[in-house]
Amino acid sequence: DIQMTQSPLSLSASVGDRVTITCRASQRISYYLNWYQQKPGKAPKLLIYAASSLQSGVPSRFSGSGSGTDFTLVISSLQPEDFATYFCQQSYGIPRTFGQGTRVEIK
């Protein structure tokens, strides 16, 4: 199975801050990397697919990059509605494994 490792697992930030979350795969997965946002009591929401493609309707302050084993999600200017947990996921193979999640909290 492909293991996905996120860092940090939690962070505190202020509105307007630039936030960076990283995700590392245990083997090369090309661009088969997706990012999801989850708020308490809600289903995950697709933000970024294929490592860097913005899902329709997602604000442009979210961006993704990377290929192979190392990937990054950046929120350029954190907004109040962005406080949530973010998960990476590989769609290269079965099982479709997820990272542990990164909780973004208000400083």
Binding footprint of another protein on the chain (CB under 8 A): 31-32, 34, 36, 38, 42-46, 49-50, 53, 55, 87, 89, 91, 94-101
User: Is 16 or 95 the residue whose CB approaches another protein more closely?
Assistant: 95
Work out how close the CB of 14 gets to another protein at its nearest, in angstroms, rounded to a whole number: 25
Q: How many CB atoms lie within 10 A of CB 40?
A: 6
User: Is 11 or 17 the residue whose CB approaches another protein more closely?
Assistant: 11
User: Is 53 or 77 the residue whose CB approaches another protein more closely?
Assistant: 53
Determine the Cα angle at 4 with ends 43 and 72, to 5°. Answer: 80
Work out how close the CB of 68 gets to another protein at its nearest, in angstroms, rounded to a whole number: 15
Work out how close the CB of 100 gets to another protein at its nearest, in angstroms, rounded to a whole number: 5
Find the length of the chain.
107
